[in-house]
Structure 1
Amino acid sequence: MQATSEIEINKKREKTFNEKVIVPFWSLAALLVVMNTTMFNVALPNVANEFSLTPTVASWIVTAYSVVFGIATITYSRLTDYLPIRKMVLFGALLLGISSLLGYFAHHFILLLAARILQAVGAASFPGLGYVLFSRYIPSERRGSAMAAIASGTSLGFGLGPVIGGALTQFLGWNYLFVLTGLVLLTIPFFHHYVPQEQKKSVHFDLLGSILVAAGITGLLLFVTTFALWALFMGLAAAGLL
């Protein structure tokens, strides 16, 4: 009886999930998210020159994004156990779009850094939720091709990011990098219509574990980018406690 009920639930899920629409738009969102990470690497000298920043301070535009992105990705994945995926992906896309507009009009380094951090929180929803969504709603015989589409968008984003980022920075200015990422707002109507509505569940959230994960990721990423030994020790200690 239990196996029969699970099959019926899976069939209902498949009927309410249009993968022919979701997979392409999710791949597009993954492309923009990854490009948002790599585009700013080539724009750092221009940003540093405009705001009179040292290379170390300017690098926080990328470092802060990477740290927050890594933490938020894991957090979104855990939240899928009791929060509806549609609400979270709409929140992520909206936050990414709004923070991109904020970054476009940023004329101070603090505002620019805040926009990048908010971008990371919103952007992390796509890799964090995408694989959970596909594994939950796409049958196993078609799941591999859907995952491959996301991976293709991600790989393409890594390749196109520096090229498009360099072109936009040279001919239009680094502010227009935010305009490109803001295109993610166009995906919101499709996600709202085609991602199935789920019921909220009551599940205990491991707050201590989340703090240790965040501390571990932050420490290790900071060590990779700054080679600070204290960051390495903090990351290893948090990982050990976890």
Structure 2
Amino acid sequence: MLLNISKKQRSILIILVIGTFLGFLNQTLMNVALPNIMTEFHIGPSQGQWVTNGYMLVNGVMVPLTAFLIQRLTTRKLYLTAVGLFALGTLIAGFANSFAVLVTGRMVQAIGAGVFGPLMNVVVMNLYESDKRGQAMGMIGLALNFAPAIGPTLSGLIITQLSWRFLFLIVAPFIIADFILAFYLLKNIGNTKRLKFDFLGVVLSSIGLGSLLYGFSNAGATAWSDFTVWGFVVIGLIVTALFIWRQITNKTPLLNMAVLTYRQFVVAMLINVVLMIAMYGGALMLPLYIQNVRHYSALISGLILLPGALITALLSPLSGRLYDKYGPRYLTLTGILLTTVGTFSLSMVTLNTPIWLVVVSQLIRQLGLVIVLMPIQTEAFNALPLSLMPDGSAMFTTVRQLAASFGTAALVTVMTQVVVYAGKAHPTHTTLNQLQGIQVTFLFASVLMIIAAAMTTLLKQKTTI
């Protein structure tokens, strides 16, 4: 699938893709299983959400720290440690005899998973010349794009036939096998540096990013006027601002803010922010439409999403090759416009829209996203010198997670407000009111995509460092 790369490069890439795929897959498996977990441990939704929120918070807090870890530790030592922790957390969660142990297992998983993506980005940038990075990042797209898309379908199948514990026990052999492969085949890439550890920076980033992610995640189910939303968002903004000031003034920063002086990196990152807001928020709307408005099962909902997921898997490597050949601007614009068409089409769904039309609209949406997501990420990293790659990867991944979390909260808020407004006019039309909320939310996401399309004019056609 990848051309003109050595056997060593291919084996390293495969090992890293497996780990990253399993890490991203694990983020999405829990949503469908949450009702079963709550029933078994006799807990309510406020406690149950920590299965996903605990994972997300630890994962988000780990990412800025990876810039330091990648430069301080060898590739082999860091990856083996991360995979080992992920495997340990998977086994703890799979055999958990209490909810507290389950959440602990998820958090241990997240410590390892937080390293996978940033480390893989840095390794790829070091292994490949700039004209081959698109192909490699296209392979990474299999993990970044396919895993979240296939997660709900796979989870639905496992929960229907087995127990929620098998969501962990089925993953465990694969991550252990990846550890064994890495132990024998993974080589060190790049050189280590004896950096001073910025303990205060870690504390500030953990509190700041953790508060932001927690506040945004609460906004999906709680009003923004609640302290658990606005309070944590404000705390997060203040502490994150202190973290940024600390990094700018510190001689040995945890995260080098010099990456923000590279215009092409900043433009690509901002485009990605808008894409994440529209993509993650929009992705939440479709299952709500299928299950709550059309009253199909969670399994059917997952199957409806499956064709788009398969398109993502099949075309991710191709999108990378197209980037290497044509550059970012026109490829990104094409992908965003396709995503806009698919998203706008979903804003027109009704109570009687044929399901095949929903499948096609989502497929077009996914086709556009697979064309744009990895090329825009590759372009961001290509804009940086190799010395700043760990910091750039950590920065890009952190901002992407914040955008995804905020996007979900923002679009859920749009939907909720529309439903409330419609409910005042037609209090008995519950299903129709929810449909109207979903339609407006997809329309709002379409507007965001148009903004992202306009931002592509700021991209250079080719970047060389």
Alignment deviations for residues 112-156 of structure 1 (CA, whole Å, 9 cap, x no partner): 010000010111221121111111222222222111211222211
Which stretch shows the higher mean deviation, 77-86 or 49-58? 77-86
Matched, 1:92 2:82: yes
1:232 matched to 2:223: no
Residue aligning to 1:189:
180
Q: Is the 8 A contact 1:33 1:181 kept in 2?
A: no
Aligned residue in 2 for 1:7: none
The alignment of Structure 1 onto Structure 2 pairs a total of residues equal to: 228
Q: Which runs of 5+ in 1 are unaligned?
A: 1-13
TM-score normalised to the size of structure 1?
0.88
Q: Deviations over 1:58-83 (max 9, x none)?
A: 00110010010111122123211121
Counterpart of 1:100, as a letter, is T
Does 1:83 find its partner at 2:64?
Answer: no
Counterparts of residues 146-225 of structure 1 (less than 5 Å): 146-182=136-172, 183-197=174-188, 200-225=192-217
In structure 2, C-alpha distance between the alignment counterparts of 1:28 and 1:236, rounded to whole Å: 34
Secondary structure of the 1:18 match is: helix
If the length of structure 2 is used for normalisation, what is the TM-score?
A: 0.47
Higher relative contact order (CA 8 A, sep 6+): 1
- Give CA deviations for 1:31-78 in whole Å, capped at 9, x if unaligned: 211110000011111100111111010001100100101111221232
Are 1:123 and 2:113 an aligned pair? Answer: yes
Q: Distance in 2 between matches of 1:36 and 1:77?
A: 23
Structure 2, gaps ≥5 residues long: 220-227, 244-465
1:69 maps to which residue?
Answer: 59
Partner of 1:143: 133
Partner residue in 2 for 1:32: 22
Deviation, structure 1 residue 203: 0.9
**Aligned partner letter, 1:236:** L
Percent identity reads 27
CA RMSD of aligned residues (A): 1.8
In 2, the alpha carbon distance for the partners of 1:70 and 1:180 equals 25
1:112 pairs with one of 102, 122, 128: 102
Report the counterpart of residue 53 of structure 1 in structure 2: 43
